[in-house]
Chain A
Amino acid sequence: MSAADIHLTDAEQHAATALQHHFDNMEQQRVAGTLGMWVFLITEIMFFGGLFTAYVLYRTLNAASFAAGSSGLNVKMGAANTVVLICSSLTMALAVFYAQTGSRRMQIIFLLVTWALGATFLVVKGFEYAEKFRDNHVPWLNFQWEGKMPPGASVPSIRMFYWIYFVMTGLHAFHMIIGLGMLGFLIYFAWRGRYTPEYHAPVELGGLYWHFVDIVWIFLFPLLYLLGANLTH
């Protein structure tokens, strides 16, 4: 039976063009892609894990200083950003849902909303960083501390807290920027009608990545922002 004898529906034909030559079928390709993304996310966990290890060690050694440093962060902005990111995870999940069910319009709308929420996060983060520059809380630039000073705290250790804060949130923001680029790519191809119920693996994989970056923030927010809330002096 030659290729011409096989009658394919439009959807099957579309899926067939998305199948790369070295895979036997779409299922194998989808499973490989998904596993690859999960393995990649494990490497990301190990990458951030190094920083979390340093955080745990230094916070154990300098608990008072970390609480003091934390009290200098803007909890309102951090909380707002947490809400923004959780909402963006919802919209991303909806975008994946509409890719699976084949609604091109809803898919694009939710990808755009996700993009906008991600951008909002970065803008708020930018205002926070600006605040740190204004208050001389940037550890590598003329660091000064006039905030709370509980017993046992010391300015060098508070400076260390801010170094960890900047490195962790900076790396997270870098991942957000990558995520926005990825969403742009998905929006472009969704607009071109590339993703159908038969073939939408990139949207799913993008979703996995986006949720991962959100989860990192879910850990960062309490660890960095909520340590100093109860400090009285």
Chain B
Amino acid sequence: MSAADTPIDPLNPVMPDPSALPADSPEWRVKFPHVNYINAHYGIKSWLLTKDHKRIALLYLASVTVFFALGGAYAIAIRLELLTPPGDFVQAHTYNKLFTQHGIIMIFFFLIPSIPAVLGNFLVPLMIGAKDLAFPRINLLSWYIYIAGALFTIWALLNGGIDTGWTFYVPYSTSFSNTYVVVAGLGIFITGFSSILTGLNFIVTIHTMRAPGMTWFRLPLFIWSTYATSLIMVLGTPVIAITILLVALERLAHIGIFDPRLGGDPVLFQHMFWFYSHPAVYIMVLPSMGVVSEIVATFSRKNIFGYSFVAFSSLAIAIFGFLVWGHHMFTSSQSVYASMIFSFVSFAVAIPSAVKVFNWTATLYKGSISYDTPMLYALGFIGLFTMGGLTGLFLAALGMDVHLTDTYFIVAHFHYIMVGGALMGYMGGLHYWWPKITGRLYPEGWGRFSALVIFVGFNLTFFPLFLAGYMGMPRRYHAYAEEFQVLNVMSTAGASILGFGLLIPGIYFLWSMRYGKFAAPNPWPATGLEWRTLSPPPTENFASTPIVTWEAYEFRPIEEMEVIGPAPEQSSRPVPGLTTT
């Protein structure tokens, strides 16, 4: 009888001979499963009433994935319509609804919650060595608020949709649009509170729950960027909440604060809207920057170049981000002096953004680089974000912006930031932490292949739009002039490649949850605290509160890394390949 067949006495385990049963092999895992946050409790109730930040992250993961697919379906319809110059697939009114709903769903229900609520929820306590977020019940509440807002929005969509554009500009949204503005607006209002509560939870957690020795300058850079993002969520989101509330009240009462008949100013709406919605761009991209900092350091096996510069550039972006909203309004009757200041500050935002890009590049220099899937996404992020950022400078220039306002140039620009930046970071982060989240490895070959497909498809979709916009093709029309067709066909072809590329991870992630290889606690290997516990982590994250005695990104040979091992009550079950402390 071989060692593998011997029944194990749980109270008095005898470690079998490793040569007979390789540690961490699937057979080993079946024989010695460790209690983790996924198998600690079973049943739908244990998920819907959980207060565990890791489970809530998975609830968010499932829901934002649904919304990403829905927003993607709208994108497909838009690109199909734009395949040919005349409006033949849908009529103008339907097209208005398509791009509005694509924007609302992608921005409020996918991009804003994507990295903070999924990866942030999962990682913030793990990375700082805490047992949970400071307010676990509020964390669960934020997911229910998100779902409530989502239901309102879906109700608006099912009833016939909304056609104001995701920007809800008055007076069209308050007085003229004949669609479900109030319901969709309420959906966004409600979802905003989910974002506020998530940000509040992160700020308090990062301030008060860090493990002993985890000083501010030992924090992983993902935490710094999450902190900066949370500041924006907390300071900006209430402003969009009151703005949307005022629009809804005005629509219901037929008079209101933006009503020119009472001396109201519709441009005030634009100020209040962009006061949130410009910083919201940084809610989407700052967490991605944090993810990229983690990935670049790990896969170059080098300390990040200029840690404190990268850390403070996140805060600088968050602060500058609140001072540039007027660059959305250069053509809206805003004072030209105000425009000049907004233009200047918009250029200034490029500085902390460039600090990050240069520091990532300097980290790569003479690093020991390996091109695993997360690294491919991170490298993609750096290139695409740079292009998105540089074309942003075109739009920050006053004269240039007048020419480019409301053309496809700006559509291409913000998709380079939103998809090329935020989505690439999200996908990279999801691959990077997938072994930690599920305890399984995704198929690396398929991962690299799909990362390349997504990169090619993305560029083919959006680069032609820069050209079309530069030549004057206006956005938000269902029909366009014949001479833009070649570029639009390229874009639609690229969109189908991009869609195909995004389907592949959707499939293999699901596949890997059941059939993927088991992941070691630190598969890459990386340095953060989250890699010093089991994969997947136990419910309480660490067997004992970690005491941090090392600096961030202190790369050492893997044998020297200690794992803060299984919890005391389960230590009778051996966990392979680990030295427990």
Q: Which residues of A contact B (CB under 8 A)?
A: 20-24, 28, 31-32, 35-36, 39-40, 42-44, 46-51, 53-54, 57-58, 61-62, 65, 139-140, 154, 156-157, 159-160, 163-164, 167
Contact = CB atoms under 8 A, between A and B. Distances in A.
A41 B235 CA distance: 10
Contacts of B272: 50, 53-54
A22 to B, nearest CB: 4
B291 interface: no
B31 interface: no
B255 A163 contact: yes
Contacts of B552: none
B261 interface: yes
A31 to B, nearest CB: 5
Given A49-B239, A50-B239, A159-B255, A36 B268 contact: no
Contact of A167 (B209, B237, B246): B246
Contacts of A164: 257
B363 to A, nearest CB: 33
B133 to A, nearest CB: 8
Contact of A57 (B138, B246, B254, B268): B268
A49 B234 CA distance: 13
A167 B253 CA distance: 12
B208 A31 contact: yes
Contact of A40 (B200, B254, B259): B200
B441 to A, nearest CB: 30
Chain B contact residues, majority secondary structure: helix
A44 B545 CA distance: 35
B114 interface: no
Contacts of A36: 134-135, 138, 200-201, 204
B267 to A, nearest CB: 10
A140 B255 contact: yes
20 contacts: A22-B132, A31-B208, A32-B205, A32-B209, A40-B200, A43-B238, A46-B234, A46-B235, A49-B242, A50-B242, A53-B268, A53-B271, A54-B257, A61-B263, A65-B263, A139-B255, A140-B254, A159-B262, A160-B263, A163-B257
A22 B239 contact: no
A131 B203 CA distance: 45
B544 to A, nearest CB: 11
A40 B233 CA distance: 11
A57 B257 CA distance: 11
Query: Which of B138, B207, B236 gathers most chain A CB within 10 Å?
Result: B207
B242 A154 contact: no
9 pairs of A and B residues whose beta carbons are closest in the complex: A50-B242, A47-B238, A22-B132, A140-B253, A46-B238, A22-B131, A160-B262, A32-B208, A32-B134
B204 A167 contact: no
B262 A167 contact: no
Given A24-B545, A140-B254, A35 B239 contact: no
Contacts, number: 111
Given A36-B204, A47-B238, A160-B257, A167 B249 contact: yes
Interface string B425-458: 0000000000000000000000000000000000
Nearest to B138: A36
B256 interface: yes
Contacts of A20: 136
Contacts of A28: 208-209
Nearest to B132: A22
Interface in B256-307: 256-257, 259, 261-265, 268, 271-272
Contacts of B253: 139-140, 163
Contacts of A54: 246, 257, 268, 272
A23 to B, nearest CB: 8
A48 to B, nearest CB: 8
Contacts of B395: none
Nearest to B205: A32
B263 A157 contact: yes
B173 interface: no
B241 A47 contact: yes
A163 B239 CA distance: 19
A51 B261 contact: no
A65 to B, nearest CB: 8
A43 B208 CA distance: 19
A33 B152 CA distance: 31
B196 interface: yes
Contacts of B263: 58, 61-62, 65, 154, 156-157, 160
A57 B262 contact: no
B235 A42 contact: yes
B130 A160 contact: no
Given A46-B236, A54-B268, A156 B261 contact: yes
Contact of B262 (A42, A50, A53, A156): A156
B491 interface: no
Nearest to B275: A50
Given A35-B208, A47-B239, A49-B239, 7 more contacts: A22-B132, A22-B133, A39-B204, A139-B253, A156-B262, A160-B259, A160-B263
B237 to A, nearest CB: 7
A39 B203 contact: yes
Nearest to A53: B272
Contact of A44 (B138, B201, B238): B238
B100 interface: no
Nearest to B262: A160
Nearest to A50: B242
A224 to B, nearest CB: 15
A39 B243 CA distance: 20
Contact of B234 (A43, A139, A163): A43
Nearest to B236: A46
A25 to B, nearest CB: 11
Nearest to B197: A40
Contacts of A53: 268, 271-272
Query: Which of A22, A24, A39, A159 gathers most chain B CB within 10 Å?
Result: A22
B262 A39 contact: no
A48 B241 CA distance: 10
Contacts of A32: 134-135, 204-205, 207-209
Contacts of B268: 53-54, 57
A164 B138 CA distance: 32
Nearest to B131: A22
A156 B265 CA distance: 13
A226 B571 CA distance: 70
A160 B253 CA distance: 13
A31 B208 CA distance: 7
Nearest to B133: A22
Contacts of A39: 200, 203-204, 234
A182 B101 CA distance: 38
A150 to B, nearest CB: 15
A68 B131 CA distance: 58
